[in-house]
Amino acid sequence: MKEKLVGKNDIIMIGVLVLCGAIIALALLLTRHEGSQVVVSVDGKEIASFPLDKDITYEIDGYEGGHNTLIIKDGLAYMSDASCPDHLCMGMGKISKNGQSIICLPNRVVVEIRDAGGKAPEYDVVG
């Protein structure tokens, strides 16, 4: 007697899991950066803020003549150019979630994603 490898219940279960995954993915895509702000700080002072859902290119005047170029495109923020010697900030990748940041230490530039209220996320600290 031949056994079935995939039964009717298995197919139903796979269908339900695929449907749940698709719903979760769609919800994440629709709410990923709604209302999020990209906040730019130089030497600890906030100098600019932009909505994450609007495409812009912004030239940042960093500490002591340094400069960085911030790109916001398709809901992602990243550093495309920097005058610092190591360019680590350019290699930090693209950010889009609340609490993520790009930091250029030589130019004292911090680019951070914040929620719609402009508040930075709170972290638990062991003291």
Sheet with 109-114, edge to edge strand ranges:
45-51, 37-42, 109-114, 101-104
CATH number at residue 55: 2.60.320.10
Q: What is the pLDDT of residue 102?
A: 96
d(CA 65, CA 105): 13
Q: What is the pLDDT of residue 36?
A: 87
State pLDDT tens for residues 44-67.
Answer: 999 999 999 899 999 999 999 999
Write out the residue range of the structural domain in which residue 56 sits.
Answer: 37-114
* SS3 of residue 61 by DSSP: strand
Q: Which ranges in the chain belong to alpha helices (H)?
A: 8-31
* Residue 122 covered by a domain: no
* Residue 54 covered by a domain: yes
* Residue 89 covered by a domain: yes
Q: Minimum mean pLDDT among 3-12, 47-56, 94-103, 118-127: which range?
A: 118-127
The yes-or-no verdict on residue 89 having pLDDT over 60 is yes
Domains contained in the chain, number: 1
* Residue 55 covered by a domain: yes
Mean of all residue pLDDT scores within the chain: 86
Q: What is the pLDDT of residue 6?
A: 77
* Residue 123 covered by a domain: no
* Residue 90 covered by a domain: yes
Q: What is the pLDDT of residue 40?
A: 96
Q: Which residues of 72-104 are buried (b: 16+ CB within 10 A; e: fewer)?
A: beebbbbbeebebeeeebbebeebbebebebeb
